[in-house]
């Protein structure tokens, strides 16, 4: 989240009880909105799939571009947005993501989707808890994970043309490790922002939405990778 004007720094451990309470409230808001976003995505995806309204390739790509644009608006222009506007854009993004994810309900058995979601939830919860409680600075790990993420994105593009199954699985398992690391790193950074925004309710409300979006994306990517690993495709 460095683009928002916050830099890595040592977390202020040992602060007073009032500060801890406000940080806890901030983190509760982050996780609550993340869960709301996941719920919106899941419900929309199921409704679209059940209605047989999965978009064809052209509109599908338009939706993907729209989602990318919303992420940029929320993350890069957060200081210009009101808390209500940021919340609305986040929920809109979650809904659009549900439309694009509707293909999952056609490609995979519902039991597989549920199992992947449960496993992802367990992994995410444990990793995010570690990022929240650890006193070790995870900045170096975060930078390594980000560089590795760029690497697997490039490798995925190359493998579209190579169609190499070994590379496919290497990318998948490496992706799980990367997003596990990013979840811990992002949680620690969000906790730091919670301390930095104490006393500024408006900024805290907006940054909680940004934090929700970051963790939402970590969760979604972990879920998609676990779905690959556990995948029982219908066709």
Predicted confidence (pLDDT) per residue in 213-230, tens digit: 999 999 999 999 999 999
| Count of structural domains, the chain | 1
Taking CA 188 as the corner, what is the angle to CA 182 and CA 192, rounded to the nearest 5 degrees? Answer: 140
pTM to 2 decimals?
A: 0.86
Q: Is 235 within the bounds of a domain?
A: no
pLDDT of residue 235: 45
Range of the domain at 211: 2-9+16-230
- Mean residue pLDDT of the chain comes to 86
Summarised one tens digit per residue, pLDDT across range 17-75 is 334 458 889 999 999 999 999 999 999 999 999 888 777 776 777 888 888 888 888 88
Summarised one tens digit per residue, pLDDT across range 191-212 is 999 999 888 888 899 999 999 9
Q: Is 97 within the bounds of a domain?
A: yes
Reported residue count of the chain is 235
Q: Is 171 within the bounds of a domain?
A: yes
pLDDT of residue 23: 87
């Amino acid at each position: 989240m460095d683009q928002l004007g916050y830099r890595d720094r040592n977390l202020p451990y040992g602060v007073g009880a009032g500060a801890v309470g406000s940080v806890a409230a901030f983190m509760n808001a982050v996780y609550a909105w993340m869960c709301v976003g996941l719920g919106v995505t899941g419900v929309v995806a199921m409704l679209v799939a059940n209605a047989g309204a999965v978009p064809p390739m052209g509109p599908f790509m338009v939706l993907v571009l729209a989602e990318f644009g919303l992420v940029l608006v929320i993350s890069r222009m957060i200081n210009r947005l009101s808390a209500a506007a940021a919340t609305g854009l986040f929920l809109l993004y979650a809904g659009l993501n549900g439309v694009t994810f509707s293909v999952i309900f056609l490609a995979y058995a519902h039991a597989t989707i549920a199992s992947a979601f449960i496993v992802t939830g367990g992994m995410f919860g444990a990793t995010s808890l570690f990022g929240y409680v650890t006193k070790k600075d995870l900045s170096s790990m975060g930078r390594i994970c980000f560089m590795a993420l760029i690497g697997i994105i490039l490798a995925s593009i190359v493998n579209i043309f190579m169609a190499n199954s070994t590379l496919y699985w290497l990318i998948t398992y490496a992706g799980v490790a990367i997003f596990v690391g990013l979840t811990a790193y992002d949680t620690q950074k969000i906790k730091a922002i919670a301390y930095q925004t104490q006393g500024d309710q408006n900024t805290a409300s907006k940054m909680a939405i940004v934090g929700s979006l970051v963790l939402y994306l970590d969760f979604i990517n972990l879920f998609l990778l676990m779905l690959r690993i556990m995948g029982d495709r219908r066709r």
